[in-house]
Amino acid sequence: MSDADSYKLDELAHAGGTSPRTVRYYVQRGLLPGPAFRGKDTAYTREHLVRLRAIRRLQERFLPLDAIQVELERLDPAELERLADGKLVTLATPDPSLPLPPPSVAPPSATWTRWTRRELAPGLELTLAEDAAPEARALAEEIRIFTESLIRQRGAKR
């Protein structure tokens, strides 16, 4: 590995848009592999950066760290790369008939929630839990209708 492929902790954190403390936490949780040691320093690789960026993408989808860990373990390196670049949009949806991941990945109390995402406008989406209360479903529908009417009004003014 050349120095161009190597990052110090601060460099990796900066490139991944997070803090060194978060990087260390992800290593401790098993989301990132441990760094190599070079004398007194640690050295992180491009793989660390790709995984860090993939974690960020999954967090943008409001996945908890336990679910993120499952996704990271499921994806091959090429899929991780595409996810980190924002080009992989399909993720595994847990099959409710399957058992939960082992306790090392998800605590026994972890449950899966399916979500419905609806794009209201470019860059704006509404996410609703499949098991949302009727009041929340009604509110989501009102927001959708209101947003569509605003978009139509703004389009008519131009």
Question: Please, where are the H alpha helices in the chain?
Answer: 9-16, 20-29, 46-60, 65-74, 77-84, 134-157
Mean pLDDT, residues 63-92: 86
- Identify the weakest region by mean pLDDT among 78-82, 95-99, 121-125, 144-148: 95-99
**DSSP-derived 3-state class of residue 41:** strand
Q: How far apart are CA 154 and CA 158, in angstroms?
A: 7
Architecture of domain 3-108: Orthogonal Bundle (1.10)
Which residue, 28, 45, 94, 85, is CA-closest to 67? 94
Note the pTM of the prediction, 2 decimals.
Answer: 0.56
Q: How confident is the model at residue 90 (pLDDT cuts 50, 70, 90)?
A: low
- The number of angstroms, rounded, from the C-alpha of 136 to the middle of its chain's C-alpha atoms is 24
Which residue, 142, 67, 157, is CA-closest to 111? 67
Amino acid identity of residue 157, one-letter, is K
Using only C-alpha atoms, the chain has a radius of gyration, in whole angstroms, of: 20
Does the pLDDT value for residue 31 go beyond 70?
yes
